[in-house]
Chain A
Amino acid sequence: MVQHTLDATGLNCPMPILKAKQALAKMDAKDILKVTCTDKGSTKDFIAFCHQTDNTLISHETKEDQFIFNIEKNS
């Protein structure tokens, strides 16, 4: 299991999702992607993205103006 990180701070919808998708495509199954963004709609969007793509949203948290997601790639 490898931990990858994606800094999507400053990017607006839909770029954090698109960058996450591109990062996940290069990863192996069971690897974790940690995404940091500032887009206020990102919490709902990442929940929906993971639901739709069968990746697992292990955790999401809000730290001040940052939203941090840990996504496990399933396949």
Chain B
Amino acid sequence: MPENNGMTIIASKGTLDWAFPPFIVGSTAAAMGKEVTIFFTFYGLGLLLKDLSGLRVSPQGNPAMPMKMPFGPQWLQKIDFGPKIPNIMWNIPGMELFATSMMKKTMKKNNIATIEELRDVCLEMDVKLIACEMTIGMFGYSRDDFIDGIEYAGAATYLDIAQNSNHDLFI
């Protein structure tokens, strides 16, 4: 095993879309022989909860998000509604749930792995998942809220592990 074979990732975001990069890159790096550690802090902490049903995605303030129908006739599915819908529309109650539901349907249709699956693979491949102890206190979580098999620590632990890493990502 070469020196500095580690990969460290800080996962700081907790929306459905941003939940993917840490688990995809982390699991793939582990499959390719790296020792991977993901440190979940602030909103990223939510990705370690037992219940991931709260993961959402919002087109609000997210103008780059393509908005295509995951069903219906082909001509309809090709239309990108993103630039056509004024952003203020996404303020209407229920629109975030609607956008989340569309995103989940699109992912299912394209056979994209779910966050639960990717997280399970990470654990199987011995990716170290660390929950930020400070954020747990700040947001009023308890350890019972989180999945088994994770560790609890703070910034100094992360930095100590990152010392032996030649990939260090902030997501």
Contact = CB atoms under 8 A, between A and B. Distances in A.
B113 A49 contact: no
B124 A15 contact: no
Nearest to A52: B32
Contacts, number: 36
Given A12-B111, A49-B32, 15 more contacts: A10-B111, A12-B110, A12-B112, A14-B24, A14-B27, A14-B28, A14-B31, A14-B113, A17-B28, A17-B31, A18-B31, A21-B32, A48-B32, A53-B32, A53-B33
Given A21-B125, A22-B124, A15 B113 contact: yes
A33 B128 CA distance: 28
Contacts of A58: none
A13 B121 CA distance: 13
B20 to A, nearest CB: 10
Nearest to B31: A21
Interface residues of B, number: 14
A13 B25 CA distance: 10
Interface string A46-65: 00110011000000000000
Task: Find the residue from B32, B121, B124, B125 having the highest chain A CB count within 10 A.
Answer: B32
Contacts of A29: none
At the interface, is chain A mostly helix, strand, loop or mixed?
A: helix
Given A21-B125, A22-B124, A13 B32 contact: no
B27 to A, nearest CB: 6
A43 to B, nearest CB: 16
Contacts of A12: 110-113
A70 B65 CA distance: 38
A28 B113 CA distance: 28
